[in-house]
Amino acid sequence: MEKGWSIASLNAVSKPASLAPSKRGTPAERAFNEIMWNDPLPSKLRKKSRYQKHKYYVNRKRGGHCNFFTESGLKAFLETNNLSMVVRGHQFRHTQRRGFQHDFNGALLTVFSSSNYCGSEKNNTGYVHVKGGTDVQVLAHTLRKANDAEKYRGFNLLKIVVDERTKAVTQVAF
């Protein structure tokens, strides 16, 4: 797509049966793939001229089924939707130092709010505070320091119990 996705077109896409990343799938599944799994182009590649030509590049770190987006890809999305910023999550290594990371001159904010990620990582976690009415401010903060992460071991884990006969979820335990 030459222009960025419009929010209206994304809202019109029905949620696919699976949100697992995949190279194949319906247009809806591929759209959700992009929303869920695309990452900003790593800062070490941004200055290389070969990475300044396009809006997206294949992200092999996520199995090649997702893309890295460039600043021009983000700008296309922002302009299409008359926005000044995107706040996103879902990228542990990128946010590990503070629990959040600003990119592309502040037009992108990535936040990671899971303490003790996967029960084994000691990481800082962040949160976003949105202030204001007509003059909105989006402020990122560190919620918890890495040395406090052990206290939250298993905090984000849950157990789902399914009835074998009916296949219905009978219990969700945290």
User: Which has the closest alpha carbon to 4: 60, 61, 56?
Assistant: 56
Tell whether 19 and 60 lie within a shared domain. yes
Give tens-digit pLDDT for 39-52. 998 888 888 877 77
Tell whether 72 and 112 lie within a shared domain. no
116 in Cβ contact with 155 (< 8 Å): yes
Give tens-digit pLDDT for 112-142. 888 777 767 778 889 999 988 788 889 999 9
Tell whether 69 and 104 lie within a shared domain. no
Domain that holds residue 9: 1-83
Tell whether 60 and 138 lie within a shared domain. no
Tell whether 67 and 94 lie within a shared domain. no
Tell whether 54 and 89 lie within a shared domain. no
Q: Exposure pattern of 77-109 as b/e (b: 16+ CB <10 Å)?
A: bbebeeeeebebbebeebbbebbbbebbeebbb
Domain termination residue (choose one: 39, 59, 83) = 83
**Residues in the chain, overall count:** 174
> In degrees, to the nearest 5, what angle opens at C-alpha 101 toward C-alphas 106 and 58?
90
Q: What is the pTM of this model?
A: 0.76
How many separate domains does the chain show?
2
Low-confidence residues of the chain, pLDDT below 50? Answer: 1
